[in-house]
Structure 1
């Protein structure tokens, strides 16, 4: 079984309360730590990678992002999915080629640009073209930004998700959806559902998110930011 098939299988028939937990490495070293901790797959966060390269979130040049993903992929033996934001303006065929060249088994694609939601029908067409170019070689996670840049109406999120699933998305990611609407989202969205978990103890655990309907749990740039905070504390004592 190749890596993309392994990755796709990891999403199937998850028991309630046992979501697929995907930590977000930002470089080769952090990827190796995650794999050494026993995680079967990884999902890079664009904001975490951006920070490691010296950029603000959303400002990483495409070439540097794909190069960073390739370094992470080379460092580990498990499947790696890549957050490629909105696709960097690349045509679907080129985006797929770049992802495959980097060795990624999947990607996140968001449905907003510059803080503004895209037309969902046009975005669904883009996703369909990505799916057509990739065939079964990539696992497409369609991010729904209704709760990040829209009005936060779960029904609008469900409508967008339905269009993206119909276009061939393998998973839907309603980023920053409130926990209390997760059961409603689960009931209204077909297929795997990605939720983000916080690492500051303020939000529910991955297991709780799984009980409420999440198929998989990611952490955005949470790990990279926690590591940066730890390093900041360490460096404070270097000259003491």
Structure 2
């Protein structure tokens, strides 16, 4: 039996999937609490929101890497979802021991997409996890759930031959797409040739990337057929940099910069 979901959840999932399939690049500046979500959502052109697990964890005093209790993470995500009418994708790390169950619980909060890390599990095991997640989403009445199936080939492959790491990312991404994931997330400082290789392997509008300094500009990523680009914890780092710069200015005898906006 299909479970009841939060009002509008299936429709928001369908819209989020459409945004990924659209040739126009979907850019999401990641959020970590209600006020950051409201600020990002209020900017013209924002079409969806995505949480950053690292940022949520650090804001609550936890290190990244599933150190935060899953209940606390989901509570934070649920508050963000409740603050907006936009589709929300949640960064749920590796799934906190049971990825399909964690996604099921997130859907109950109105989440319509998720990043789930493969943590370089054996390919067959990681693909089976993708299948389980998509089955859970369909059982919850959200067949268009946008699983952003993340491979940690680059993140955990530092020091290895770059060509071998890229080949691993291609193999894993193809396996995740075959298992039902609509898009594959390859977080890394990718150059244009690496992006082209991944898009050629997955197909256009199937690759998502992260906007690490040194990666191709957003307009070029769109031209190459990337579906989505996110900013991970960098959006929080930008906000904290502004805070630190304010403190430094105060210590010099200054005050609030004239560029400050009253946002809440």
What is residue 256 of structure 2 aligned with on the other side?
Answer: none
What is residue 101 of structure 1 aligned with on the other side?
Answer: 108
- TM-score, normalising length: structure 1: 0.90
After TM superposition, the structure 1 = structure 2 runs for residues 104-115 of structure 1, keeping only pairs within 5 Å, are 104-112=111-119
1:45 aligns with 2:57: no
Q: Using the alignment, how far apart are the partners of 1:43 and 1:137 within structure 2?
A: 16
What is residue 185 of structure 1 aligned with on the other side?
Answer: 198
The alignment covers a number of residue pairs equal to 230
What is residue 32 of structure 2 aligned with on the other side?
Answer: 26
1:79 aligns with 2:87: yes
What is residue 63 of structure 1 aligned with on the other side?
Answer: 71
What is residue 171 of structure 2 aligned with on the other side?
Answer: 159
What is residue 133 of structure 2 aligned with on the other side?
Answer: 130
Q: Using the alignment, how far apart are the partners of 1:168 and 1:137 within structure 2?
A: 10
What is residue 210 of structure 2 aligned with on the other side?
Answer: 196
Give the Å deviation of 1:162.
1.0
Q: Deviations over 1:5-32 (max 9, x none)?
A: 1111111231xxx311111011110111
Which of 16, 32, 35 does residue 7 from structure 1 map onto?
A: 16
- The runs of at least 4 consecutive aligned structure 1 residues that moved more than 4 Å come to none
Q: Using the alignment, how far apart are the partners of 1:137 and 1:161 within structure 2?
A: 19
Q: Using the alignment, how far apart are the partners of 1:21 and 1:178 within structure 2?
A: 16
Task: Quote the RMSD (CA, aligned, Å).
Answer: 1.6
Give the Å deviation of 1:204.
2.8
Q: Using the alignment, how far apart are the partners of 1:225 and 1:188 within structure 2?
A: 33
Which of 29, 35, 46 does residue 41 from structure 2 map onto?
A: 35
Q: Using the alignment, how far apart are the partners of 1:174 and 1:216 within structure 2?
A: 11
**Does the CA-based 8 Å contact 2:115-2:150 persist in structure 1?**
yes
What is residue 225 of structure 2 aligned with on the other side?
Answer: 213
- SS of 2:184's partner is strand
Q: Using the alignment, how far apart are the partners of 1:87 and 1:137 within structure 2?
A: 19
Q: Using the alignment, how far apart are the partners of 1:122 and 1:223 within structure 2?
A: 32
Q: Using the alignment, how far apart are the partners of 1:143 and 1:176 within structure 2?
A: 11
Q: Deviations over 1:69-106 (max 9, x none)?
A: 011111111000000000000262x2232111222111
Structure 1 or 2, whichever has the larger Rg, is 2
Q: Deviations over 1:48-75 (max 9, x none)?
A: 1111111111121111110110111111
Question: Where does the alignment leave 5 or more consecutive residues of structure 2 unmatched?
Answer: 1-7, 254-264
Give the Å deviation of 1:237.
3.2
Deviates more, 1:214-223 or 1:143-152: 143-152
